[in-house]
Structure 1
Amino acid sequence: MTTMDLVIVGGGINGIGIAQCAAAAGYSVMLLEKGVVAGQTSANSSKLIHGGLRYLETGQLSLVKQSLAERRILLKLAPSLVKPVPFYIPVYADSRRCAITIRAGLSLYALLSAGDTLGQFRAVPAVYWSKIKGLKLKGLKALYQYWDAQTDDQLLTKAVANSARSLGAKIVEQASCTQIEHQPQHCIVRYQQQGQPHAVKALAVVNAAGPWVNQVLECVTPAIEPVPIEWVQGSHLLLDIANNDGILYLESHVDQRVIFVMPWQGKTLIGTTEVVLKSLGEQPSPTAAEVDYLLGIYAHYFPVLGGVDALRSRLLDTFCGVRVLPKQQGNAFDRPRDTLQQICPTHPHLLTLYGGKLTTYRTTAVDATRWLEAQLGSRIKRADFNQLRLD
């Protein structure tokens, strides 16, 4: 039976990032993905590498600061995949967030950017407001422009996977984990690939299965108690409308959420929703209510393009991502987005990840590799994780 330092279950951005970081640190790594790498949530996000301006409203300053630092690093390491893009925030007479509030938030965002040139923002003079094609000008009181970054989430995840492979990580697709037998000194991980059973001895295991994280825990023996979670679906719509040059950060006129209107493949992408699911299917899809919600917000801000029915005829595609949030009171929009790393004293060789953001996958990878080093000791490094370029 093959012995690996680390076996990772889950081929989304967090699992792949951990594989890259651990392999760079010199560990032998195997990753099991039940489908294909970047085939689920990591291909269906809002495709942003950003600090999370809205997280300031809920006091998540440390997460915003960390995310902004990671944005700066990814712009350097993956210049062909992560690109700066202007964001615009229109403020109307009936906006819940007034101009003073927006300016204060952007000032704090700039401060947390720690001198990054992308931390700069400005009030756009009224004479230029009409350059945002189709945007409602009636009642518009101010327009602010700041910077964040956009990426192709699937291509970024695949680039990280290629880097991990080049460092010696073995990535096995179409491999379903069937059992993790936790023993005193190691784990035996059993999986099926193309109907054939396989087993590997793992000195440590990371469960990075995303929405399916607790399903993987059901395979652990002796049994382990999972963290109660909720699945939150985020849907996006692609419209056959020529895109604006930047991204619009819009306050919903229905509730206090914000959505983005983004350029994507020459068209216009709208997202996202946050709907708590009662069950988890293999391939989530937007509900009719989510489609109406997003089209309604777009029609409110871009009335010259027609109402919801007219926009529905321009709907080219939809996609959904499902994120994991700890189960608690309150709406999903306001809940913390930090990654939760769970270690059970009775199962010291198993680390389970809950949640996580595309932007901060590298910090999650570093934290997991530090845990691995505490478990196994250090190895001879193959590469400097912070210098690994992605393309």
Structure 2
Amino acid sequence: MTSAVDLLIVGGGINGAGIARDAAGRGLSTMLVEQDDLAAHTSSASTKLIHGGLRYLEYHEFRLVRESLQERERLMAIAPHLIAPLDFFLPHAAGQRPAWMIRAGLFLYDHLARRRRLPGSRAVTAPHHPGFAVLKPGYRRGFTYADCRVDDSRLVVLNALDAAERGASIRSYTRLLSARRAGSVWRAEIEDRASGARTAVAARAIVNAAGPWVSELLEARLGRHDAGRIRLVKGSHIIVPRRFEGDYAFILQNPDGRILFAIPYQDRFTLIGTTDIPYDGHPADVAISEEEVAYLCANISGYFRTPVTPADVVHSFSGLRALHDDGATNASAVTRDYLLTLDGGGEEPPLLSVFGGKITTYRRLAEHAMAKLLPALGRPLIPGWSGRAPLPGGDMGDGRFDLWSDELVARHPGLPPALLRRLGKAYGTRVETLLGGAATIDDLGADLGGGLTEAEVDYLAVHEWARQPDDILWRRSKLGLHVPPGTAARVAQRLGREAAPPVPQQGKNP
């Protein structure tokens, strides 16, 4: 039996999930396949920020920064439970970028796009910011500005969930084996990695959103040997016990000209990153090196009174940015902008390939993909919609998240407030489905470790495609840093005994 769809999307990162959401919302029958878990690779290895990209101004990426700032506003409105403001402190010292240059850059950052939700930048002097007390003696001036933090992998999952509820078929742990053009359609074969079951798919168009695998997919699975060039750039982060109090982050200038972030993470930790290193290995093998750990520790210790050493690192992660090769010599200078290439159309079924991009601009990337695909499919180019409709769980009202969170705690007096606030940030208004009318903590089943209940595991298996312990501990709940030994085994047991099939009930197109 053959499945027939308008659009077959290969890749379950933020770009693939965003395109699936937009396409399903415009009435296209859509299937997304991902060889591993949703957001298993680059999209869960980010710095966890929705930001304009202040440093991109140095490379004259004004269009990208403006679009990113515009998207920052839109994403705050449609996902208020996942995205929250965060103040950044940029200390300044002699020998760094001149203060006038930083002031000019921050002025542009404040005014390149309409800013409604966040404060503007300002200059600060010691001791009138708590960050000065964290730094080594000698820092007397600096700047502050605002951007946003995000739960990156949940942003991917919620885009996929919205796509599914609009009619899309989302198939994780499913790989594309091959595809070839046959008349007006692509004839593709996909394989479920767990069962080995193979399915034939007839697709009017294919989207290659495979990230670090984009070129490999073109050549090995689609038979296209004129693939566009990409540069794989590895970015690595380390996590250490929390190094400073307060809900603000540092943005620091390294001696080599790169930027380093130190960000409060998961209440008890500090996230430090990132590196920018050319990578020529297989995407599945990416991992942080000892040299990267030493680099991050040495550079953060150059600023902080209390040094950070490799022995302090409790966790690390690495991701690959599949950037369009613009010929830049320095990996840090390679454009973070995206490129969409369309092959075919008319008599030939189209193939759209996605090169580059960043998590902040995924929604606009999806709109641009639709602007290319719809005409190629002979469909009218209807207006975009995804910047107005809340993501699942985000329908508590613009600017009302804190009030809604307080109301959630008040509505459930028998449940721990800290648990409710964590669940509220992760699931938004969908938390009521997870709670299922629970009046006490016992109603949520056993605690499998770190506050992860059986009810939460069951919800993630039924509604969010969770199949493996890592899907839950490191991507959907982010509790991997908080659980004791043995939790992964208990989660695996729960998934094997109780989990429903990991595909949500599909809705209908609006």
Please give the range of the TM-score, normalised by the shorter of the 2 chains: over 0.9
Equivalences for residues 346-365 of structure 1 within 5 A: 349-365=350-366
Say whether the 8 Å CA contact 1:6–1:28 is kept in structure 2.
Answer: yes
TM-score between both structures, scaled by the size of structure 2: 0.72
Give the corresponding residue for 1:226. 227
Say whether the 8 Å CA contact 1:261–1:270 is kept in structure 2.
Answer: yes
Residues 1:57 and 2:58 aligned together: yes
Say whether the 8 Å CA contact 1:233–1:322 is kept in structure 2.
Answer: yes
- The 2-side partners of 1:354 and 1:164 are apart by 22
Which amino acid is 1:294 matched to? Answer: L
Say whether the 8 Å CA contact 1:26–1:382 is kept in structure 2.
Answer: no
1:294 to 296, 321, 327: 296
2:278 to 262, 276, 279: 276
Give 1:7 deviation, angstroms: 0.4
Residues 1:125 and 2:125 aligned together: yes
Which amino acid is 2:59 matched to? Answer: T
- The 2-side partners of 1:332 and 1:215 are apart by 21
- The 1-side partners of 2:222 and 2:232 are apart by 25
Give the corresponding residue for 2:334. 335
For residues 373 and 344 of structure 1, do their structure 2 counterparts lie closer, same or farther at Cα, with a shift above 3 Å needed?
closer
Give the corresponding residue for 1:33. 34
- The 2-side partners of 1:380 and 1:350 are apart by 18
Give 1:378 deviation, angstroms: 3.4
Give 1:114 deviation, angstroms: 2.3
Give the corresponding residue for 1:103. 103
- The 2-side partners of 1:178 and 1:4 are apart by 17
Give the corresponding residue for 1:176. 175
Give the corresponding residue for 1:68. 69
Q: Which gives a bigger RCO, structure 1 or 2 (Cα 8 Å, sep 6+)?
A: 1
Give 1:109 deviation, angstroms: 0.8
Tell me whether 7-16 or 222-231 shows the greater mean CA deviation.
222-231
Say whether the 8 Å CA contact 1:167–1:382 is kept in structure 2.
Answer: no
For residues 236 and 153 of structure 1, do their structure 2 counterparts lie closer, same or farther at Cα, with a shift above 3 Å needed?
same
- The 1-side partners of 2:220 and 2:189 are apart by 10
- The 2-side partners of 1:379 and 1:163 are apart by 22
Q: How many pairs does the alignment contain?
A: 384
Say whether the 8 Å CA contact 2:288–2:318 is kept in structure 1.
Answer: yes
Give the corresponding residue for 1:89. 90
For residues 130 and 299 of structure 1, do their structure 2 counterparts lie closer, same or farther at Cα, with a shift above 3 Å needed?
same
Say whether the 8 Å CA contact 1:88–1:247 is kept in structure 2.
Answer: yes
Say whether the 8 Å CA contact 1:130–1:137 is kept in structure 2.
Answer: no
Give 1:167 deviation, angstroms: 0.6
Equivalences for residues 188-267 of structure 1 within 5 A: 188-193=187-192, 194-221=195-222, 223-244=224-245, 245-253=247-255, 255-266=256-267, 267=269
Give 1:137 deviation, angstroms: 3.2
Which amino acid is 1:59 matched to? Answer: H
Percent of aligned positions that are identical: 37
- The 2-side partners of 1:380 and 1:280 are apart by 38
- What is the root-mean-square deviation of aligned Cα atoms in Å? 2.0
By percentage of residues, which structure has more strand? 1
Say whether the 8 Å CA contact 1:26–1:379 is kept in structure 2.
Answer: no
SS in 2 for 1:273: coil
Residues 1:164 and 2:166 aligned together: no
**CA offsets 1:52-98 (integer angstroms, 9 cap, x no match):** 00000000000000000000000010011011110111101232x12
Tell me whether 380-389 or 165-174 shows the greater mean CA deviation.
380-389
Say whether the 8 Å CA contact 1:247–1:261 is kept in structure 2.
Answer: yes
For residues 57 and 174 of structure 1, do their structure 2 counterparts lie closer, same or farther at Cα, with a shift above 3 Å needed?
same
Give the corresponding residue for 1:323. 321
- The 2-side partners of 1:177 and 1:251 are apart by 42
Which amino acid is 1:43 matched to? Answer: S
Say whether the 8 Å CA contact 1:9–1:177 is kept in structure 2.
Answer: yes
SS in 2 for 1:124: strand
Give 1:381 deviation, angstroms: 8.2
Tell me whether 274-283 or 230-239 shows the greater mean CA deviation.
274-283
Give the corresponding residue for 1:44. 45
For residues 381 and 60 of structure 1, do their structure 2 counterparts lie closer, same or farther at Cα, with a shift above 3 Å needed?
closer
Residues 1:10 and 2:11 aligned together: yes
**CA offsets 1:15-72 (integer angstroms, 9 cap, x no match):** 0000000000011000000001111111110111000000000000000000000000
Give 1:220 deviation, angstroms: 4.5
SS in 2 for 1:386: coil
For residues 131 and 88 of structure 1, do their structure 2 counterparts lie closer, same or farther at Cα, with a shift above 3 Å needed?
closer
- The 1-side partners of 2:148 and 2:133 are apart by 21
Say whether the 8 Å CA contact 2:363–2:386 is kept in structure 1.
Answer: no
Residues 1:373 and 2:374 aligned together: yes
Which has more radius of gyration? 2
